[in-house]
Amino acid sequence: MSARTRPIRVLIVCTHNAARSQMAEALLRWMAGDAVDVHSAGTEPRPVHPLTVRVLEEMGIDASGLRAKSVEEFRGQAFDYVITVCDQARERCPYFPGGEQIHWSFPDPSAVEGSEEERLEAFRQVRDAIAQRLRLWLSVTLRGSAHGPLRI
């Protein structure tokens, strides 16, 4: 059993960094705390979607500090894991040295049309799917580490 001396560095990438990658960043930070140093970015960043903030706050996660960032802000930095959460970002994500590349494909909730409640439900479903995947990933990635209790 080896103790990790530093947090796991994670970059989560999506096309616009407005919904899926923002959810994943906030959820991972909330679940793992100091065990991870997590960031998110987009290949074509747009402002954070208001429903992203809403569904995170429904879980008690403070989303007030979220902002869209470009992958260019992180160029040259090393990450242990680079996780793409949409197919377009996977194709366009620049290479980050030293990091394991992981791809998870989630539907874009901001593409859903309909009533406010229908759109909100799409964001909730994607949030919950991302949370489920992160719980599994954390349980495997942090197995045997010295990090304290997680919110998984």
Q: Catalytic site residue 86?
A: yes
Catalytic residue among 11, 12, 13, 14: 14
- Catalytic residue, chosen from 55, 56, 85, 93, is 93
Write the CB contacts of 55 (distance below 8 Å, at least 6 apart in sequence): 23, 120, 123, 124, 127
Residue among 86, 122, 131, 134 flagged as catalytic: 86
Q: Is position 15 annotated as part of the catalytic site?
A: no
Residue 93 is among the residues annotated as catalytic for this protein: yes
Sequence-ordered list of residues with C-beta below 8 angstroms from that of 110, at least 6 positions apart, any chain: 16, 18, 19, 49, 51
Contacts of 15 (CB under 8 A, 6+ apart): 42, 43, 44, 86, 88, 89, 92
Positions annotated as catalytic residues are 14, 86, 93
